[in-house]
Structures are given as C-alpha cells and as structure tokens.
Amino acid sequence: MKSIVILISGRGSNMEAIVRARIPGVRIAAVIANRPGASGLVFAQANGIDTRVVDHTAYADRVSFDDALAECIDAHAPDLVVLAGFMRVLTDGFVRRYEGRLLNIHPSLLPAFPGLHTHRRAIEAGVKVHGATVHFVTAELDDGPIVVQAAVPVRADDDEATLAARVLAREHLIYPQAVRWFAEDRLVIDGKGRVSVRGGCSDEVSAWIVPALDAPTGEAS
C-alpha cells in the first residue's frame, strides 16, 4: 500500500479525480491546502480524508513556508506527494527533499508553454494541438521527467474557457493513471531523465494519450 499526500490551493479538481478513481494500493493520507478557504478541503473531508491548512500568508518567506509545509507532509510519511492545482513556487530545498516522489500536472504539452495562461498562449501561438503533462518535479519551474501526456485539438472557435475545459477533462484521466503507475512501482527514470512504464501500456485507448492508459482507470473521450 502506497500512502500519498495531495496539495491543493483551491477546488482541487485533479485531487477529486484521484480520490474518485479509488486506485488500488493507494491510501490518501491527507489533503493539505495553502489557503484556508480552499473548497477542495470540503470534498476531502466529505470523503473521510484528513485535511490540513498551512497558510502561506502566515510565513515571512518561501523558505519558512516550505519548511512548515514539509513538516506537515512528513507527519503523514507519504510515499508520494501530488501537486493538484497547488499555486506556489516551491524552493529548491523542498523539491530536493521529495525528489523522485513529487508529481505535478501542468496544462500544456511541456516543454511548450511553461508558466501561466497556457491556454491563451496556445491559442495566440496558433498551435493545432494542446494538452496536459504529468511530470516529476525538479527545481526548474514546470520541468522534470515527463510521465504521461494527453493532447486535444485546438479548434478554430476555441477561447480560453472552452480549450481549458477540454484539457481539464484529459487531466482527470491521466493524473490518476500516473499515480497508479507510481503505486505499482512501474515508473522508471533513465539516466537521461526520460520516464518509461515498466511492463508497457495498453494501446486500446486513444493515441492522444501517451503512454496509453491502462484499464480500468478511465477511457479517453
């Protein structure tokens, strides 16, 4: 059984997707928010998950906040820490502390469009394909070994909202899958920082998700 802690800042819809997936071999030890009013805490509590708040505004700087956050995380002794809409830039020391067991999801096909406003930037750039990426976190912002990506077409009539909604639906598929692969000890990072999935992946689901998902986590739509 793998224990995970999920970090959120707001609704935490990807946290919800992971909870709803009921991944075999995974116990969600806690959901921690950096904002007291994060609505995702209500969902977590309703599902019997321990919740904590480490309010970043109560700390003088990023280092002291990250130290307090790490202390809260470590109290649950997790095997994996999952960033699910956690809107804080983490210090190098924090990232090193959880190296190899810290996952993030970013709403673009990295390395394209790191940072904020990814959907607007994708539309402005005229790309035909956009998507989301689950990756291991490194000290560089929105960087690190890529676990899985999901792509969606960018339509001529898309605005930020419609494109974001289409990408978010894919995020809710690939993040539980990445957590499942981690829990099954199937993720292997080679010397060049590339991730492979031990045992291979199903090719029965849409090729827009790479590697393809394993049943029964979910199907692409």
Token pair 């109290």 is found at 75
CB 104 within 8 A of CB 84: no
What is the tally of helices (H) and strands (E) in the chain?
A: 6, 10
DSSP letter at 117 equals: -
Rg from Cα positions in the chain: 17
Q: Report how far residue 68's alpha carbon sits from residue 84's, in angstroms, rounded to the nearest whole number.
A: 19
Q: Report how far residue 164's alpha carbon sits from residue 203's, in angstroms, rounded to the nearest whole number.
A: 26
Marked catalytic residue, from 106, 130, 135, 172: 106
CB 131 within 8 A of CB 123: no
Dihedral over Cα of 23, 29, 35, 36: its sign: positive
Residue 106 catalytic? yes
Name the amino acid, one letter, at 72.
C
User: Annotated active-site positions, please?
Assistant: 106
